Amino acid sequence: MPHTLVKHFGKYIADKKLGQGGMAEVYKGHSKNVFGVNKTVAIKVMSSKASQDPKYVEMFKQEAKIAVQLSHDNVVSVIDFGAHLDQCYVVMDYVDGFNLLELMQLANKKEQKLSMAEILFIAKEGSSGLDYIHRFRDAATGKNLNIVHCDISPHNIMVSREGQVKIIDFGVAKSTLSARVQKSQPNMGKARYLSPERLIDSQATQASDIFALGITLWELTTGVRVFENLTAIEVAAKISSFELPTLYEFRNDCPEEWVQILTKATHPDLTKRYQKTSELNRDLSVILSTSYPTYTQEDFRLRIETLGASSLQDETEKLEVVANANAGSVKIFKPISVESRRVLQINPMYVILLFLTAAVYLLSNTDFFENFQMHPEKVVGRVNSLVRTGKSETVDGVNSPTATTPIKVGQPSHTNSPPITQNELSPDERLVRVTSMPTGAYIYVNGYYTQLKTPALAKVSRRDATVILLRMNGYRDATLVLNKDAPVADFKLISTGARH
């Protein structure tokens, strides 16, 4: 798809397509001015298909009516709206930056975690904008419009290169202005961020927005996405009994108050959750001011600059985000740059040499074939998503989710490697004793087979949480996330024939 175009919408010109959603497209553009002064804007244009459906046209108009009244530092401002050739459009301030999903991807690419100060700053600023939305009163009548955003997620919270945090996209928002439309409007929003009550009876409230913000902030803190690759139906089946893993399974620098705040914000029981965003915002303001009293927006701006956020704006690596509103999924396409194409022009002789080297290695290493047959999926790499399922065992305060799908493996054909000594460890490594009942299970650390069986001492990181998986013929896979201080990983294996 081309990344440059020229389209006119009233006095506004669209220059680049930024993204496409269920019923609209978003462009980066500018305004035309008789004095030659141009302002960079974002233009949200209703798609041709949606423009033919009166219901979607009315929803688009209601979005404009709600958003154009809002004016807050943490909410993107709507400048204008209108129609051009039967296509409705909304013109907003252009946020020169990226959303929270892109921020997490950028941090992962740099192999860096966001600090707690940065996370709390984003949380406080985002909740401030959401609180303003929830409290907003109509200027003409003075009545609270009872606005509910309905689609809070990492995709709809932006961070600018100046360190500003802004809530965007009121495409499925509800208010007293849109009461007539709400009766026929489906339960929209991204499935993994919908609260249990919304999945059951479709009723969107301030508390359901708080739940969505809580899940977003949990993902930002852990770097892990909840309910990855599940459909809305599968999410609905799990959410009623869902319990988020404790933050300490992923990092040990979380203030206890932050754990309590997220636990309350994401509580599946509506009566035990924050009822007002003002309460959440107050708690976040207190923890930020007490834990990091000198942290400011300027600190956040410098951190964004250090992360290399400007690289996201590089013309050769523009991201085109295509959001599926029904499935709540986002696909990211990264065009190959000219430099990348040059790298891909590989000399055929290198390919032949690589093939011959691999063949010699495989023929001389019979253990490879043996391990591959027993452990074909051993290279997992990183834990990119986590869904808590089935029963769990608790080891030294660490919850261990039990795998629900039994995977049979071959019988062991070798003994443990020689014991590891302290002299063999790097400064970033430590030893942890891995045991199981029964013994003799294969040990994986962070997705890699260790050539060890229980009981054994395995090398793990001193700095980060470690994922340990045990696999044994006739038993379910057992997994736990070991925090950096736990000395023992103790498993109780469950037979594949056991019932739960």
Residue ranges covered by each domain of the chain = 1-54+74-94, 97-333, 346-374, 385-492
Check whether 480 has a pLDDT greater than 70: yes
pLDDT value at position 352?
66
Least confident of 2-16, 117-131, 308-322, 375-389: 375-389
- Whole-number Cα distances in Å, 352 to 349, 356, 481: 5, 6, 41
Most confident option among 25-39, 272-286, 396-410: 272-286
Cβ atoms within 10 Å of 433's Cβ, excluding its own: 13
Least confident of 60-69, 198-207, 307-316, 396-405: 396-405
CB under 8 Å to 333, separation ≥6 — which residues? Answer: 319, 320, 322
Check whether 231 has a pLDDT greater than 50: yes
User: Does residue 203 or residue 88 have the better pLDDT?
Assistant: 88
Closest by CA to 323, choosing from 193, 414, 430, 452, is 193
Least confident of 154-158, 296-300, 365-369: 365-369
CATH superfamily name and code, 1-54+74-94: Phosphorylase Kinase; domain 1 (3.30.200.20)
Cis peptide before 455 (omega within 30 of 0): yes
pLDDT value at position 390?
30
Give the integer Cα–Cα distance in Å for 136 and 131: 9
Q: Which residues are catalytic?
A: 151
Check whether 72 has a pLDDT greater than 90: yes
- Averaged over 74-101, what is the pLDDT? 90
pLDDT value at position 187?
47
Check whether 192 has a pLDDT greater than 50: yes
pLDDT value at position 413?
42
pLDDT value at position 55?
84
* Range 97-333 classified under CATH 1.10.150.530: no
Check whether 338 has a pLDDT greater than 60: no
Cβ atoms within 10 Å of 109's Cβ, excluding its own: 11
- Residue-wise pLDDT for 448-473, tens only, equals 788 899 888 888 888 777 888 888 88
Check whether 387 has a pLDDT greater than 70: no
